[in-house]
Amino acid sequence: MSLDPSFVGRSYPPTEPYQVGREKIREFATAIGAVDPVYHDPEAARALGHGDVVAPPTYPFTITMAANRQIVDDPDLGVDYSRVVHGDQRFRYTRPVVAGDELVCVNTIEEIVNRGGHGFMTTRTEVNTSAGEPVVTVWTKLVVRGEG
């Protein structure tokens, strides 16, 4: 399906603060088989200079995926979510997410391309603490497959 390119550059209001829990990081690390103590043991994380257990590098996507619903559920943009496929994913870290962080996402539509009957949309999500400290920038390219 085709996406309206005039949405490029549109930003959305900051999301409600997300509380990063220690047990959630442990659960995520366990689910991906990441056994390094820095993901599980606050003492090991503190030895590396972090305030609490550290999240694995792809953990922020669990937050931004939910935050991105602002865009894919925007009725004016009209994305058919049942036709969405994850195309590209990129993270640029200022620092790792750690337990105790309170994170706010600001979504921007960075690029829209329509090609071969499919729509390609790249979103950029700035993930900051609620105090405004930058943590990670997350780019997601979604492919909205055409009919048939």
Per CB under 8 A, residues contacting other proteins are 24, 27-28, 30-34, 36, 38-39, 48, 50, 54, 56-58, 61-62, 65-66, 85-93, 95-96, 139, 141
Q: Are 45 and 96 in contact (CB under 8 A)?
A: no
Closest CA to 144 of 85, 75, 72, 62: 85
For residue 6, the minimal CB distance to other proteins (Å) is 26
For residue 94, the minimal CB distance to other proteins (Å) is 9
Question: Which residues, in sequence order, are CB contacts of 34 under 8 Å at separation 6+?
Answer: 56
Q: Give the residue with the Cβ less far from other proteins, 4 or 27.
A: 27
Q: Give the residue with the Cβ less far from other proteins, 3 or 29.
A: 29
Q: Give the residue with the Cβ less far from other proteins, 66 or 134.
A: 66
Q: Are 54 and 96 in contact (CB under 8 A)?
A: yes
Is residue 110 exposed (0-12), middle (13-18) or buried (19+ Cβ within 10 Å)?
middle
Give phi and psi for 98, each to the nearest 5: -130, 155
For residue 53, the minimal CB distance to other proteins (Å) is 10
Q: Give the residue with the Cβ less far from other proteins, 78 or 85.
A: 85
For residue 10, the minimal CB distance to other proteins (Å) is 23
Q: Give the residue with the Cβ less far from other proteins, 35 or 76.
A: 35
Q: Are 98 and 45 in contact (CB under 8 A)?
A: yes
For residue 106, the minimal CB distance to other proteins (Å) is 19
